[in-house]
Structure 1
Amino acid sequence: MRCQLLLVALSVVTMQTLANAQQVTYPPPSQRGDPATVGRGIQRTMTLLATSTPERRNTVHILLYGQSITAGQWGVRLEEHLRSTYPHANLIYQRKPLSGFSTERLVKTAQADLYPTYADLVIFHDYGNNEDYETMIRKLREQTTSEILIQADHFRRSEQLLDESQPSEIEERRQRWAAERNTTFLPGLARQYGCGFDGRRELWKAYLQEHSLAPGDLVKDDVHPNEHGTYLMTELIKAYLVPRSDTRLDPMNCEYVSTYDIDDIPGVTDDKLVFSFHGNRIDVVFRDDATGSCDVLIDGEKPLQNPTMFYHGRNRVKWRDTPIPPGPWPPVLKMTSIEPIVEETWTLRAEQDSKKPDTYEFELVGSVTGSDGSGRTDKRFVSNSGRVVIAPEDWDVQFSIVALRRLEELPMQFQLDWTVETQARNIVTPPEHEPGIERTITAVQRISDGDHTIELTGSVRGIKALRVYSPKKFPR
């Protein structure tokens, strides 16, 4: 009986503690960004959100990409905020963080994770070298019409609240680098590529000074935000994601996105449509009552005959029934090919070399290709079919399997699985949809950004419009 009473008492104390934790409130930031600049570079996305109604539920695709800061709870809370603030938007919200992956790694995984997503908005943060950082922003701008919000760095525990307007005058090397990055490199990159820049670092510093806090008061180690820091990070990103009253644009017809009503396209018949366009992506918008499909040709060929329409997706370590903990980190940072690849799943089984423990021998099998050769992690591998190529410098077993999963030693064996993804369709079919959501499907994306012709045959009268995207036309 006494034990039961003790358990009840402990339960009450625990519940009270949790309740108190949930009731903690923090002072809101009084500085939320310069009204002249907040929202810059992301107004197509914000217009799509803000103009959504029950009758017209705009589809809005947002991707968060980066490392451990991107993996923080602020991303979850931002999603909750957007869904509650814009309840009628058809929000597709993705987070693809790879904790620990600074720019020299992320620039490789971006080939599978970032560019093919072709989101309306990419919210990006990463630490690392400037060259690889710029490469990611440049390729994202060259290959997609995604709006990009570059996030500044917050203050680490180990940094001081200095005047960073003159980075060269800061003695401590790491803070000098951080100051240069946040006052010159990142805002300069945003201007160069037409991105938004949230200026979070100065706002973070102002908050600390206003409330007599030290940088360490908002982080739980040196860099990762604690609950108070997560609150502030969420509030500052919310403050940037706002529609601007001085910006008026039609998100379906702006400089880099154009929509063409089928009734305005000459020569359309009940079963055939031929349309010339300039861009690297074209979507088919179906009528609400459409039921039939259409065959697709781009420049006279089926889109999936173009080998660039396939790519190797992110590889993952098999962890079930193994001593390897789960996690998102790919041990192969990047894969390429020298021959056209096809839709299939791949499995790579690796065994540790007993004479050279940091090296693995492996065999590769594709669900369509079949057995496709064997190789070693310390040598360039080209599969028998030419559909899988792995350079030795793109293996990352020690970091992705051991260090990040906190294993004490290299595993004796492991298995990787991945899928070949596509960026086009040979047949477009009206997608299922809820009331108010436009029935849109991408026919092809990330082809060369130039002049092309699409030919649709079949149930053409079920088509309402065509929508074209051209990264070259994105304002900078």
Structure 2
Amino acid sequence: MFLSNFKFKKIKPWVTLVLLVTTLVISTGFYKLSINIQELYPNFNPGLNLAYTTNLLSQNEREIRVLFYGQSITRDQWTEEVTRGLKRRFPQADIVSKNLAIGGFSSQLLVLNVERDLINFYPDLIIFHVYGAHDKYEQIIQKMRTLTTADIAIQTDHYAGSNSDWSRFMNQYFLPRMAEKYHCELINVRSIWQEYLSKHNYQPQELLRDNIHLNSHGNLLMSQIIKAYLVVNPQAQDIWEDRVKTYQVNRDIQWNNGQLNLEFVGNRVEAIASLFGEAEAEIFIDGKHPSEIPDLYSFTRANYDDTVDWPWDVSAPFRINWESPLQAEDWEIEILEIESTAENMLFNFKLTGSKTGFDGIGNNGEKFTSNSHRIVILPEDWWLKTVNYKVSPIKPGYQLRFSSKLLGTDIYQKPKFRGFHRESTVILAQGLTNEKHTLTIIPRESGKVPITAIRIYKPPLDPAKLNLEEINPEQWIEEKGKRMKN
């Protein structure tokens, strides 16, 4: 440390303090960074595909849900600064952000989790980056477009020193093609990153804490790049203006014979509460209570909270399926006996539901189907690896808890008042098939039902009409090499 060269008794106290603070800043890797993206990347024209999001951010009533999704790069600290930056830039906006990235899960694994994660959170904006197979990457984007109404911002890879054939294929061709095909915002991290390194004469490693993950400097640069794209662009146009529609009661839809009926196309329905009235009402979708519609149930992640590196820290199944219709209840897997070998860990477990009760005994080495057929776990869906040689929590008596949730309600009750400049909403149904439905609301008692509007969310793309990109990466790489030689 350079302070060892000084004799502190001859230095004024304030000088010593400055030196100590300077040393602390250097040793902790803290950087104050201000970059001119336009200078680094002349083609910079941000926000062209974020008209829906920036319109929401400019309002002050609706909640805006931001999802960070991907793997370990997206689990890093830059996402927190991006959220803070949005809240500073749009102080009137009601922003809720969530980071559901899964470290170590390339596109081949992430695609198995995306439907659950999307349908549970139902974001308005997705900020996305993942490594892995290109076809699985596209399948993830397709699910985002067919399950939600969100804007999507996809990132190219930051530059870690390698410019392999695969990196060139993904960053120069495939990711830009995905952005064009699915109308996503392309955040060109890689080009800006390389220009930043060149301008400041940095080596890639100076922004990394290992061979790929970002250090403090890298996190700060990443946050600056992402924030620079999340802006209002007057040239931006929302090509799917009907993806979210709000129907005002007594203007667009009317109470008729004591009922409120609305035909719609979409997969999510929410009611916006009015200030006046207290009466409850029954909810029907196509003549059924939401609880009677199997599509409206979803599992939560087992033993998940924001403090754990899921599923690495908890040794949980990362995917749970079902064969028989679910009900809203809590589930518990309890580990019974363990047989460990050098190659793998085998164990028996029992399953109990809060409503179903005891639902069977199984083991992680084979497909488990519970007695009720409400829970199905495949052996390959157990994630028993840990990070940095940590001891697995799996042992006799260890419990894994998760829930099957109803994404909706059979009974509308007036929600808590959130303020005069904030909407109070109730999700009536979330996860419907994206097709024509009929909503019926029937009062349960006399008095005014406090609903001022119904909002319908219709994902813009139909999965039946989508095809994967027909591209052979090896052929593209070979042709690219020939063009470079010529």
Post-superposition offset of 1:371:
0.9
Q: Deviation per CA, 1:261-293: give whole Å up to 9, x if none.
A: 212345514842111112222221222334333
Q: 1:93 aligns with which of 80, 90, 97?
A: 97
Are 1:328 and 2:310 counterparts?
yes
Asked whether the equivalents of residues 296 and 443 of structure 1 are also in contact (C-alpha less than 8 Å), the reply is yes
Structure 1 unaligned segments of length 5 or more: list them: 161-174, 319-324
The residue that corresponds to 2:457 in the other structure is 469
CA distance in structure 1 between the partners assigned to 2:37 and 2:298 by the alignment: 46
1:380–1:183: structure 2 CA closer, same or farther, 3 Å change rule? same
1:81 corresponds to which residue? 85
Give the equivalent residue in structure 1 for 2:51: 43
Report the 3-state secondary structure (helix = DSSP H, G, I; strand = E; otherwise coil) of the residue aligned with 2:202: coil
Q: CA separation in 1, counterparts of 2:424 and 2:114?
A: 29
Of the structure 1 ranges 371-380 and 431-440, higher mean CA displacement relative to structure 2 is found in 431-440
Are the structure 2 counterparts of residues 280 and 366 from structure 1 closer, same or farther at C-alpha, using a change threshold of 3 Å?
Answer: same
Cα distance in structure 1, aligned partners of 2:218 and 2:30: 16
Residue identity opposite 1:73 in structure 2 = Q
DSSP 3-state at the match of 1:263: coil
Q: Report what 1:144 is aligned to.
A: 148
Q: Which amino acid aligns with 1:212?
A: N
1:46-445, aligned counterparts within 5 Å? 46-49=54-57, 51-52=58-59, 56-156=60-160, 158-159=161-162, 175-247=164-236, 254-265=241-252, 267-269=254-256, 271-316=258-303, 327-329=309-311, 331-354=316-339, 358-397=345-384, 399=385, 403-404=386-387, 406-407=389-390, 411-413=394-396, 414-432=398-416, 433-445=418-430
Distance 1:97 1:298 in 2: 33
Give 2:24's match in structure 1, choosing from 18, 33, 37: 18
Are the aligned partners of 1:272 and 1:460 in contact in 2 as well (CA < 8 Å)? Answer: no
CA distance 1:218–1:15, shift in 2 (3 Å) = closer
Query: Normalization by structure 1: what TM-score?
Result: 0.84
Q: Is the 8 A contact 1:352 1:411 kept in 2?
A: no
Q: Could you say what secondary structure the match of 1:280 adopts?
A: strand
User: Is the contact made by 2:146 and 2:461 (CA closer than 8 Å) also made in structure 1?
Assistant: no
What are the Cα deviations for residues 87-118 of structure 1, in whole angstroms up to 9, with x where unaligned?
Answer: 11111111122222222222222233233321
Instruction: Give unmatched runs, 5+ long, in structure 2.
Output: 1-7, 467-486
- Offset, 1:431: 2.0
Q: Deviations over 1:105-148 (max 9, x none)?
A: 22222233233321101111111112222221111211111111
Higher mean Cα deviation, 357-366 or 260-269?
260-269
- Percent identity between the aligned chains? 29
**CA 1:60 to 1:317, structure 2 compared with 1: closer, same or farther past 3 Å?**
closer
Give deviations 1:209-245, integer Å, cap 9, x for gaps: 1111221121111111112111110110011000111
Q: Which moved more, 1:28-37 or 1:289-298?
A: 28-37
Residue-pair matches, total: 437
Cα drift, residue 197 of structure 1 = 1.2
Q: Distance in 2 between matches of 1:226 and 1:355?
A: 37
CA distance in structure 1 between the aligned counterparts of 2:322 and 2:389, rounded to whole angstroms: 32
Once residues 233 and 308 of structure 2 are traced to their aligned partners in structure 1, the CA distance between those partners, rounded to angstroms, is 42
1:24 Cα deviation after fit: 4.1
Kept after mapping to 2: 8 A contact 1:271/1:460: no
Mapped partners of 2:345, 2:89: distance in 1: 51
**Residue identity matched to 1:42:** L
Distance in 2 (CA, whole Å) between partners of 1:382 and 1:192 is 39
Q: CA RMSD in A?
A: 2.9
1: CA distance, partners of 2:86 / 2:334: 42
Report the residue type matching 1:354 in the other structure. Answer: E
Secondary structure of the corresponding residue to residue 372 of structure 2? coil
